[in-house]
A = this chain, B = another copy of it.
Amino acid sequence: MKNIISTAVLFLSLPIFGQTKEDSIQFRRISTEILNKGKSYTELRDLTKNIGHRLSGSEAYEKSVKWAEQKLKEAGADKVWLQEVIIPVWERGTESLKIKAGNGKWISLKMLSLGNSEGTKGKNISGEIIMVKSLAEYDKLSSDQVKDKIVFFNYPFSQSYVLTFHAYSDAAVYRSTAASLTAKKGGKFAIVRSLSSAFDDVPHTGAMRYDKDIEKIPAVAIGNTTADELETLLKSQKVTAKLNSNCGMKGEKLSHSVIGEITGHKDKSIILVGGHLDSWDVGEGAHDDGAGIVQSIEVLRTFKNLGLKNNHTIRVVCFANEENGVKGGQQYGKTVKENNEKHLFALESDAGGFSPRGIALEMDESKIKQIKSWSSLFLPYGAYDFEGRYSGTDIYPLKDMGIPTAELVPDSQRYFDIHHTEEDTFEKVNRRELLLGATIMTQMIYMIDKHW
């Protein structure tokens, strides 16, 4: 690419007047402020490098609570407080998965126990592996065929969807139900192919759940290339697997979500923006969801720094325990109900710190239509997708209460290469992409604050 001066039409050059012109000027102020002076990238470095991963219940999570409190104060919040949340505690401990083909040697596989899974309590559990490629195939197996076996659910993450979240949704049932499905037919434990778009051996953890009154047997994930190799092996011979792990639930604990706000100049109804402060216990929780946390704080800081006198209260919520319980989101919803706090709008960022493409909306059609009518303001910033669809886990209880909810839509191509893995690190986040996401979020909150 050479240095020829672009003949680009910089922005859609429609004539704009009055209110729209005023809004477009504020949009430009917001983007210039954040792209030049935004602190979310350096704050994310601090969170990921000095605290690191921070599963609910861990010491690191408690450090991140103090960190978020401090950052919200520094950003200029009028009020910062902690909200009590009773969270489940899950711990990983040591773990290993080995396989042996025929009369060969034991070979260690790169693996991660799934989140919330019980382990083997330090004992070896072993058995022959049987593989299924789909639930339909598993359904055809009798209990006799599964009894005492290790079931390997080898369902691939589809490459065909353009939005990788659709491939994730498509395959997610394997991660969540493999253990209980296996236990129902008398199997010993389950191995699940990772929910991963990458062709590597990196295992992806993530929440699983146990059906009621079913034995809680272990479930572990292996990476895509490991799964492919195991599949090849199984075509020609019997393979035995041996699991030894110490993960499991360790009761409950008192912890906190972190909340900060700037008070509304006209009324006290609330516009919420947030992400989840916890992460899985591997990697650094950079895209998931350190990005959403620092972007949300950036929104508040930008309102303060630009003197964008907010009509309504703008509240940042750093939710506890999204990954393995959603107790932070549930507690927040409960408190809103109890205190009868009026919420105008809630925006979550929990799909990675990638280059933004829009905001997903979950609200009545007339509101969606109004937001779509603003889209020419957003287009110069690369945001064009304002469709009605799922809008985030932590704010789902608010959505159920009839509050309009929304979620930042970043580009999804890279997310499931690294989601819930040791690879979700600060280095995978690009500064400008992260800042541009915070820009779109701030612009949307500005519009809601001004026009709702």
Which chain B residue lies CB-closest to A163? B8
Closest beta carbon of chain B to A19's beta carbon, Å: 22
Partner of A166, one of B6, B31, B160, B288: B6
If the complex has contacts A3-B207, A166-B8, are A414 and B430 also in contact, measured as CB distance less than 8 A?
yes
Partner of A326, one of B2, B36, B173, B419: B2
- Check A381 for interface membership: any CB of B closer than 8 A: yes
Besides the known contacts A31-B162, A414-B430, 19 further A-B residue pairs in the complex with CB atoms under 8 A apart: A1-B419, A2-B323, A2-B393, A3-B168, A5-B172, A6-B166, A7-B362, A8-B360, A8-B387, A8-B389, A9-B388, A9-B389, A35-B160, A162-B436, A197-B432, A199-B431, A355-B355, A413-B436, A417-B430
Which chain B residue lies CB-closest to A434? B413
- Residues 177-202 of A, flagged 1 when their CB comes within 8 A of B and 0 if not, give 00000000000000000010111000
- Check A382 for interface membership: any CB of B closer than 8 A: yes
If the complex has contacts A160-B35, A355-B355, are A166 and B10 also in contact, measured as CB distance less than 8 A?
yes
Q: Which of A175, A199, A355, A411 has the most CB of B within 10 A?
A: A411
Determine the chain B residues whose CB is within 8 A of the CB of A389 once the complex forms.
6-9
| Tally of this chain's copies | 2
- In the complex, the answer to whether A8 meets B390 with C-beta atoms within 8 Å is yes
Which chain B residue lies CB-closest to A37? B159
- Check A81 for interface membership: any CB of B closer than 8 A: no
Determine the chain B residues whose CB is within 8 A of the CB of A93 once the complex forms.
none
- Check A357 for interface membership: any CB of B closer than 8 A: yes
- Check A4 for interface membership: any CB of B closer than 8 A: yes
Count residues of chain A with CB under 8 A from any CB of chain B. 66
List A residues 140-177 near B (Cβ within 8 Å): 159-160, 162-166, 168-169, 172-173, 175-176
Closest 6 CB pairs of A and B: A3-B172, A8-B389, A413-B432, A2-B393, A6-B390, A35-B159
Closest beta carbon of chain B to A205's beta carbon, Å: 12
13 contacts between A and B (CB under 8 A): A1-B419, A3-B168, A3-B172, A4-B390, A4-B393, A5-B172, A6-B169, A7-B362, A8-B163, A8-B166, A9-B387, A31-B160, A32-B160
The secondary-structure label for the interface of chain A is loop
- Check A43 for interface membership: any CB of B closer than 8 A: no
- Residues 266-282 of A, flagged 1 when their CB comes within 8 A of B and 0 if not, give 00000000000000000
Closest beta carbon of chain B to A409's beta carbon, Å: 10
Determine the chain B residues whose CB is within 8 A of the CB of A431 once the complex forms.
198-199
- Check A206 for interface membership: any CB of B closer than 8 A: yes
Determine the chain B residues whose CB is within 8 A of the CB of A380 once the complex forms.
162
- Check A289 for interface membership: any CB of B closer than 8 A: yes
Closest beta carbon of chain B to A209's beta carbon, Å: 10
CA distance A8 to B389 in the complex (A): 5
Determine the chain B residues whose CB is within 8 A of the CB of A95 once the complex forms.
none
Determine the chain B residues whose CB is within 8 A of the CB of A7 once the complex forms.
362, 389-390
- In the complex, the answer to whether A1 meets B288 with C-beta atoms within 8 Å is yes
Determine the chain B residues whose CB is within 8 A of the CB of A357 once the complex forms.
382
- Check A227 for interface membership: any CB of B closer than 8 A: no
- In the complex, the answer to whether B355 meets A413 with C-beta atoms within 8 Å is yes
- Check A300 for interface membership: any CB of B closer than 8 A: no
Closest beta carbon of chain B to A282's beta carbon, Å: 15
- Check A118 for interface membership: any CB of B closer than 8 A: no
Which chain B residue lies CB-closest to A288? B1
If the complex has contacts A413-B430, A414-B433, are A6 and B165 also in contact, measured as CB distance less than 8 A?
yes
Partner of A413, one of B6, B36, B433: B433
CA distance A360 to B432 in the complex (A): 22
Determine the chain B residues whose CB is within 8 A of the CB of A288 once the complex forms.
1
CA distance A322 to B1 in the complex (A): 8
Determine the chain B residues whose CB is within 8 A of the CB of A430 once the complex forms.
413-414, 417
Determine the chain B residues whose CB is within 8 A of the CB of A207 once the complex forms.
2-3
CA distance A6 to B362 in the complex (A): 12
Which chain B residue lies CB-closest to A329? B2
- In the complex, the answer to whether A2 meets B322 with C-beta atoms within 8 Å is yes
CA distance A98 to B173 in the complex (A): 60
- Check A359 for interface membership: any CB of B closer than 8 A: no
